[in-house]
C-alpha cells in the first residue's frame, strides 16, 4: 500500500519537479519540513489532524480535572495536577506544530468552540468516581500511546518531534494510572468495586478511540499513503487489546466483552464489535458530556477575553513607551 506514494495528482500550478521531490522524500521515509513544498491536501489533512489532536489534549483536561479538588490523598492530588498540567503543555506543543503549517492558534480555538473541528470522542464520557482517573490513565493514555508511538515516525517533521516528547510523558501517566488501580485493588471491597465499575464503563469507549473500522474510515488510505499515519485503525485497536488483556488479568479485573478470547492461530485476541452507532452519535455531538465539555471551553475562552485584551493593550503601551524612550 505504501508504494503508492503519488497520493494526489499534482495541482496544475505545482512548479516543475516539486511534486516529484515531495513524493521521493516520502518514499525514502524522510521528513517534510515547514519550508518544503507540499500538496495542499497534505497540508490541510495535517492541520486538521494536528489541531484535533491539540483540541483533544485541551478538552481532555476536563474529565480528570474534575477530580483535582477531590483527590483522596495529597500524593494523588500532586500526580493529577502534574498530569493535567502536562496535557495543557501537550496542547501548546501541538498548536505550535499546527502553526508551522500556516494555521493560527486563535482561529483553531474558534473552530473548536464553534464545533467546526472535533476532539477525541473519549472525552465526552463522564468521570464518575476516582477509579475513573486510574482507568483513564491505563486505557485512554494506553490507547493514545498505541496511536501516537507510530506518529513519532510521521512524515511531517514538527508533528513527529512533538510526538516524541508527548509519548514520553504519556507512558509515565499510563504507569501512574495503572499503579493507582493496583493500589485500589489491594484496598477495600468498595475500592475494588469502583475499579471494576470504571473498567466496565470505559472499555468500549476506549476501543472507539482508534476511530471507525477500516472499511468506514474515509481519510485513512490517503493519510497512510502520505505516511502521516503508519497503521490502520483496526490494526492499532487489535494491538491495544493484545497489550491490555494481560494487564487486566494481573490487576484482577474482567473486561466487559463475552467474545474476548485468545486466538492461537491468529496470534491475537478475538474481541466483540464496538457499538459504532454510539461512536457516530458521540462524534456528531450527542454523547453524554459533549455539551458540557464545549460549554466549559467556550465559557473559559469568553470569560478570559478581558484578560487577553489587557495583555495585548499593556504590551502595546510598553512598546509605545520603548519607542518614545528610544526617540528621546
Partner 1 sequence: MTTTPAAETVPTAAALALGDDALVLSHRLGEWAGHAPVLEEEVALANIALDLLGQARVLLSTAGDEDELAFRREERAFRNCQLVEQPNGDFAHTIARQLFFSTYQHLLHDRLASGDGPFAPLAGKAVKEAAYHRDHAEQWTLRLGDGTDESHSRTQRAVDALWRYTGELFQPVEGLDEVDWAGLERTWLELVTDVLGRATLTVPEGPRTGAWSAGAGRQGLHTEPFGRMLAEMQHLHRSHPGATW
Helix (H) or strand (E) holding 318, with range, is: helix 305-327
Give the SS3 label for residue 49.
helix
Binding flag, residue 82, partner 1 (CB under 8 A)? yes
CB 258 within 8 A of CB 270: no
Per CB under 8 A, does 182 bind partner 1? Answer: no
3-state secondary structure of 156: strand
CA gap 101, 43 in Å, rounded: 7
Please say which residue, 89 or 256, places its beta carbon nearer to partner 1. Answer: 89
For 271, how many CA atoms within 13 A lie in the half-sphere containing its CB? Answer: 23
CB 74 to partner 1: min, Å: 5
Does residue 126 belong to the site contacting partner 1 (CB under 8 A)?
A: no
Reduce the DSSP state of residue 261 to 3 states and report it.
strand
Residue 30 or 312 having the CB closest to partner 1: 312
Count of residues near partner 1 by CB under 8 A: 50
Distance CA 37, CA 271 (A): 43
Q: Is residue 183 a contact residue for partner 1 (CB under 8 A)?
A: yes
| 20, 24, 119, 308 from 317: Cα distances, Å | 50, 50, 37, 14
CA distance readout (Å), 252 to 46, 142, 203, 248, 321:
40, 18, 15, 6, 66
> Of residues 10-69, which lie at the interface with partner 1 (CB under 8 A)?
58, 61-62, 65, 68-69
247 near 143, Cβ under 8 Å? no
Q: Which stretch binds partner 1 (CB under 8 A): 29-37, 154-162, 181-189, 278-286?
A: 181-189
CB of 147 to partner 1, least distance (A): 22
Q: Out of 77, 118, 175, 292, name the contact with partner 1 by CB under 8 A.
A: 77
Q: Is 310 in the site for partner 1 (CB under 8 A)?
A: yes
> For the chain, what percentages of helix, strand and coil (3-state, to nearest 5) are there?
70, 0, 30
Interaction of residue 164 with partner 1, rule CB under 8 A: no
Give the binding range for partner 1 (CB under 8 A) out of 5-13, 30-38, 219-227, 294-302.
Answer: 294-302
Stretch that binds partner 1, among 1-9, 116-124, 232-240, 296-304 (CB under 8 A): 296-304
Q: Report, in Å, the least distance between residue 144 CB and partner 1.
A: 19
The residue assigned the cell 475494588 is 192
- Give least dist CB 168 to partner 1, A: 17
In 136-260, where does DSSP find H-type helix?
141-148, 157-185, 189-208, 220-225, 233-251
- Binding part of the chain for partner 1, among 4-12, 230-238, 275-283, 293-301 by CB under 8 A, reads 293-301
- Residue 320 as a binder of partner 1 (CB under 8 A): the answer is no
180 touches 117 (CB < 8 A) = no
Any contact of residue 166 with partner 1 (CB under 8 A)?
Answer: no
Kindly state the smallest distance separating residue 158's Cβ from partner 1, in Å. Answer: 18
Q: Is 327 in the site for partner 1 (CB under 8 A)?
A: no
SS3 state at 30 = coil
Radius of gyration for the alpha carbons in the chain, expressed in angstroms and rounded: 22
Q: Which residues bind partner 1 (CB under 8 A)?
A: 58, 61-62, 65, 68-78, 81-82, 84-85, 88-89, 91-92, 95, 130, 180, 183-184, 186-188, 190-191, 296-297, 299-300, 303-311, 313-315, 317
Amino acid at each position: 500500500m505504501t508504494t503508492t506514494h503519488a497520493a494526489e495528482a499534482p495541482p496544475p500550478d505545482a512548479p516543475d519537479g516539486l511534486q516529484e521531490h515531495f513524493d521521493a522524500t516520502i518514499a525514502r521515509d524522510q521528513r517534510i519540513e515547514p519550508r518544503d513544498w507540499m500538496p495542499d491536501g497534505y497540508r490541510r489533512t495535517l492541520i486538521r489532524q494536528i489541531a484535533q489532536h491539540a483540541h483533544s489534549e485541551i478538552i481532555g483536561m476536563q474529565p480528570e480535572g474534575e477530580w483535582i479538588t477531590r483527590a483522596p490523598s495529597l500524593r494523588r492530588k500532586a500526580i493529577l495536577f502534574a498530569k493535567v498540567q502536562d496535557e495543557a503543555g501537550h496542547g501548546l506543543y501541538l498548536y505550535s506544530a499546527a502553526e508551522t503549517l500556516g494555521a493560527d492558534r486563535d482561529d483553531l480555538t474558534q473552530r473548536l468552540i464553534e464545533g467546526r473541528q472535533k476532539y477525541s470522542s473519549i472525552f465526552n464520557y463522564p468521570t464518575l468516581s476516582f477509579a475513573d482517573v486510574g482507568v483513564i490513565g491505563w486505557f485512554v493514555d494506553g490507547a493514545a500511546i498505541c496511536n501516537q508511538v507510530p506518529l513519532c515516525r510521521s512524515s511531517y517533521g514538527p508533528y513527529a518531534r512533538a510526538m516524541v516528547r508527548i509519548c514520553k510523558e504519556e507512558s509515565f501517566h499510563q504507569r501512574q494510572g495503572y499503579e493507582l488501580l493496583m493500589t485500589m485493588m489491594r484496598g477495600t471491597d468498595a475500592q475494588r468495586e469502583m475499579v471494576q465499575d470504571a473498567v466496565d464503563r470505559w472499555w468500549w469507549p476506549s476501543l472507539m478511540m482508534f476511530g471507525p473500522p477500516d472499511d468506514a474510515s474515509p481519510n485513512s488510505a490517503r493519510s497512510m499513503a502520505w505516511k502521516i499515519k503508519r497503521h490502520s485503525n483496526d490494526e492499532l485497536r487489535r494491538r491495544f487489546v493484545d497489550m491490555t488483556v494481560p494487564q487486566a488479568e494481573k490487576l484482577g479485573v474482567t473486561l466487559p466483552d463475552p467474545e474476548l478470547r485468545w486466538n492461537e492461530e491468529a496470534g491475537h485476541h478475538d474481541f466483540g464489535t464496538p457499538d459504532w452507532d454510539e461512536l457516530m452519535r458521540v462524534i456528531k455531538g450527542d454523547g453524554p458530556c459533549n455539551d458540557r465539555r464545549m460549554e466549559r471551553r467556550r465559557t473559559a475562552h469568553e470569560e478570559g477575553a478581558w484578560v487577553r485584551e489587557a495583555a495585548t493593550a499593556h504590551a502595546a503601551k510598553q512598546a509605545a513607551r520603548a519607542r518614545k524612550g528610544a526617540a528621546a
